[in-house]
Amino acid sequence: MTRQLHFNLFLHDTGHHEASWRLPESDPHANLSLAAHQHLARVAEDARFDSVFLADSPVLWSDPGRRPAGKLEPTLLLASLAATTTRIGLIATASTSYNEPYNLARRFASLDHLSGGRAGWNIVTTAGEAAARNFGLDEQPRHRTRYQRADEFLEVSTKLWDSWADDAVIADKVAGVHAVRDRVRAIGHRGEFFQVDGPLNVPRSPQGHPLLVQAGSSENGKEFAARWAEAIFVAQPTLAESQAFYADLKRRVVAAGRNPDHVVVLPGIVPVIGDTPAEARELEAELERLIAPEFAVATLADVLGVDPARLALDQPLPVDLPREDELEGHKSRRTLIVDWARRDNLTVRQLIGRLGGGRGHRTFTGTPVQVADTIQHYFENGAADGFNIMPAVLPSGIEAFAAEVVPILQERGLFRTEYTGRTLREHYGLPRPANRLLALQEA
């Protein structure tokens, strides 16, 4: 088959631009609305997207004075969306730093069953002191420690998902046997961070286990992704940076003994679409005018690890910023932002204008054809297997993308016109994982 694009819709209340909620068309309560999320998921499914995705954090995500800050628990919301969609994948974020493997493995296995094999887990380690304090800690665990815990967390989770053989449940009414007992096994895990007996109290799910997604771009994050991730969400603002990340990540996957074709790399793109270039630029300019600088500067300062008072709006970034290795959170995003600002000689005001649309993701403003051309260029030049679509404004941004950009890519033979599978793994062209515990038992 001809290689084709993969699209994930990143659901984000009124849109990814921080000022999107201030537009007359926006519903400022969409972040808490099931109906709003159902509409977005249906638009993406009608356009034959691979998946929809909900980001999450165990902390109030942003200043509630700046934009809608409340977030519904994502696996609960996606379980609701599973009832009103039939094909599209459902990916939720959950932290390995502030959960336990048994509960999380059960939650995602349950979502995979309820959706008929459409669940995915975006694995995060969660940076920030605020999250740590919500769980009784005085400070956040160190960056490397968080990834060490995440590695063992995945080891335990995959063992739990494999604790039931695929053929364990026979439901033999005549014999009175529901499951073959020796096909359900304890895992007996004893590690540095976790001691878990198992087995899981949910049978092996339709996909074997949910699709594993990862979004970190630090050294630790890329090494973790090479071992575990099956899809990767990444922020890279230029083609050259996307190409470098893509090549580096695929090399790491090979070094980890895995097939690079079984890892899908999806850079984020924030399309701002207009019928003409001038119309698209007008929408972009309107959004930038609505940014509240006092909130944007505070957020930028948090990522950079400096006092907001040090960031003068009409001056470049200070020269003596903390280095990436001096920070315990936001490492890769800090470096991306600083490199961008230095390279383009941006003032703080200009930088927050660019970050307002996608927080470091590639923002592209133009007509549907121009957006399609950009996506095709990245796809055909070693920069992406598809894209994490992050409309600046919702729902209009995804409605325009689905109605005007997707048909162009379909006409070019670059994107599906119909679903050919039912599970999320089938959409991404990924194999169903074998049961590792069963293989060890039968070896």
Neighbours of 415 (CB within 10 A): 25
Residuewise pLDDT in 10s, the chain (443 residues): 589 999 999 999 999 888 899 999 999 999 999 999 999 999 999 999 999 999 998 888 777 877 788 899 999 999 999 999 999 999 999 999 999 999 999 999 999 999 999 999 999 998 888 898 999 998 888 989 999 999 999 999 999 999 999 999 999 999 999 999 999 999 999 999 999 999 999 999 999 999 999 987 788 889 999 999 999 999 887 899 899 999 999 999 999 999 999 999 999 999 999 999 999 999 988 888 887 777 777 777 877 878 888 888 788 888 777 776 666 556 566 777 787 678 778 788 777 766 665 555 778 889 999 999 999 999 999 999 999 999 999 999 999 999 999 999 999 999 999 999 999 999 999 999 999 877 666 65
* CATH number reported for the structural domain that contains residue 428 in this entry: 3.20.20.30
Pair 426, 6: CB distance under 8 Å: no
What local confidence, expressed as pLDDT, does residue 325 receive?
64
Q: Which residues contact 294 (CB under 8 A, 6 or more apart)?
A: none
User: In which domain, by residue range, is 201 found?
Assistant: 6-270+363-442
Determine, yes or no, domain membership for 180.
Answer: yes
Pairing mode of beta strands 169-172, 231-234? unpaired
What Rg do the C-alpha atoms of the chain give, in angstroms? Answer: 22
User: Residue 299 domain-assigned?
Assistant: no
Taking CA 364 as the corner, what is the angle to CA 412 and CA 414, rounded to the nearest 5 degrees? 15
Residue 250 is assigned to a structural domain of this protein: yes
Using an 8 Å Cβ cutoff, are 422 and 116 in contact?
yes
User: In this structure, is residue 281 part of a structural domain?
Assistant: no
Structural domain includes residue 328: no
The answer as to whether 307 is a domain residue is no
Q: Give the global pTM.
A: 0.88
Provide the number of structural domains found in the chain: 1
User: Residue 291: inside a domain, yes or no?
Assistant: no
Q: Are 231 and 217 in contact (CB under 8 A)?
A: no
**Residue 392 domain flag:** yes
Answer yes or no: are the C-beta atoms of 375 and 271 closer than 8 Å: no
